[in-house]
Amino acid sequence: MPETETVFDEIFRLLTPEKLLRDPRATGEGVSIALIDSGVERSVLENKFGDTIHPIEGAVFRADQPTPSPYTGHQSSPHGTTVADIVLTIAPRVKIYSADVFGPTGTCEVETVIKALQYASDVWKCKVVNLSLGVPESKLQQLPKRHQFLKAIEEGYYKDVLIFAAAHNEHPIMRSYPAAFSTPLISVDKGLFEDPTQFAYKLRDTVEFQAHGRGYLGPFAREPATSWATPHLAAIAARLLSLRPEMKPFEIKTLLYWMFEARKMDPKGK
């Protein structure tokens, strides 16, 4: 028996991923993203984007300091600036908050990331968090520490904060946190796409999505990396959020999944 068309089929035919992303309002306007990374060199991005971007704000988090230090507009490492550049390239009207957690240790300390996560949701009121730096599993051998981290991720989820985390940042076969907590956040692997706003749903043990793995600024930006894939997807989510800011994390996740499926069905996005 042939299926009868419903009004929703008609709506879905009109609604395509490309229409959503090309909507003039889908610029990231009204959306704040926290980049928990190695800091952002503000002048580099201001030189590149000029007045078209919102002023970049932020704070510097250190394991040995209970409260964050003021952001001075500088990076602890160029990594964070390349990440910010990707976000602004895809969603130029996003408001960026730089949470510099790189610090003297040169790696992500769990306690520092947790502090930055809480600050991003409670103080900056960010709806999207990008975590391109991963905490290797070796640093989370203690179960209470791992639970503490998971709890912070869960809390973010219940505060309607969508967290994007680079998958397997440390090593291709090593689990990396928080991407391993794939349920309350979106873990992102690297892939290569003709259009940087394209992405794929690739459910594996701890990975859900693949996004474009090349950046645009810095000598290593062309090197495919999960660090560059994650801000691509975070920026796409920001664009969707500027269309409907009240969306919950699970709704955005569902929308991303639907966009991938819809593109599979209609690659040209007519």
Partner 1 sequence: MPETILIVDDEETVRRTFRDWLTGSGLNVEVQAVADAESALVFANSHSVDLAVLDWNLGTGSDGLRLLEDLVEFHPDLVAILVTGFAHQATPLEALRMGVRDYLDKNQDLNRESFIAAVRKQLERIAPAKRQRQFQRGLLQFRQSVEKILPLVQSTAALNDPLPLPDAVRNLFRFLIRSTGAVDGVLLARHVSPEGAERFMAFRPDGQPLTQLAVPFNRSLAATVLSMNEVCVMSAADLGTLGPVELQPVEKNRQHILAAPIPVAPGTHVVLELFDKPGGFTPDDRKLVAASAEFSSELLRQAMAERQNRRLLIDAVEAALHASEQATASLPSSQEPEADEPLPATVMDRLRAGLKESANPVVDSETSLQLAEEIRELAIRHGPAAVRHCIGLVKSVRGLLDETTGT
Residues contributing to the site for partner 1 (CB under 8 A) = 37-39, 41, 44, 48, 74-82, 85, 102, 104-107, 133-134, 136, 169-171, 216-223, 225, 227
| Residue 238 CB neighbours (<10 A) | 30
- Smaller CB distance to partner 1: residue 53 or 259? 53
At 203, list the tokens.
Answer: 């459910």
Q: How far is the CB of 77 from partner 1 (least distance, A)?
A: 4
Helix, strand, coil percent content, the chain, rounded in steps of 5:
40, 15, 45
- Smaller CB distance to partner 1: residue 44 or 259? 44
- Smaller CB distance to partner 1: residue 184 or 215? 215
Q: Which residue do the tokens 């306007």 mark?
A: 29
Q: How far is the CB of 88 from partner 1 (least distance, A)?
A: 12
- Smaller CB distance to partner 1: residue 60 or 128? 60
DSSP state at residue 270: -
Q: How far is the CB of 212 from partner 1 (least distance, A)?
A: 16
Q: How far is the CB of 51 from partner 1 (least distance, A)?
A: 19
Q: For residues 160 and 157, what is the distance between their CA atoms, to the nearest angstrom? A: 5
Q: How far is the CB of 214 from partner 1 (least distance, A)?
A: 11
Q: Which of 67, 72, 68, 76 is nearest to 39 (CA)?
A: 76
- Smaller CB distance to partner 1: residue 21 or 188? 188
| Residue 24 CB neighbours (<10 A) | 5
Which are the contacts of 45, defined by CB distance < 8 A and separation ≥ 6? 53, 56, 81, 84, 85, 88
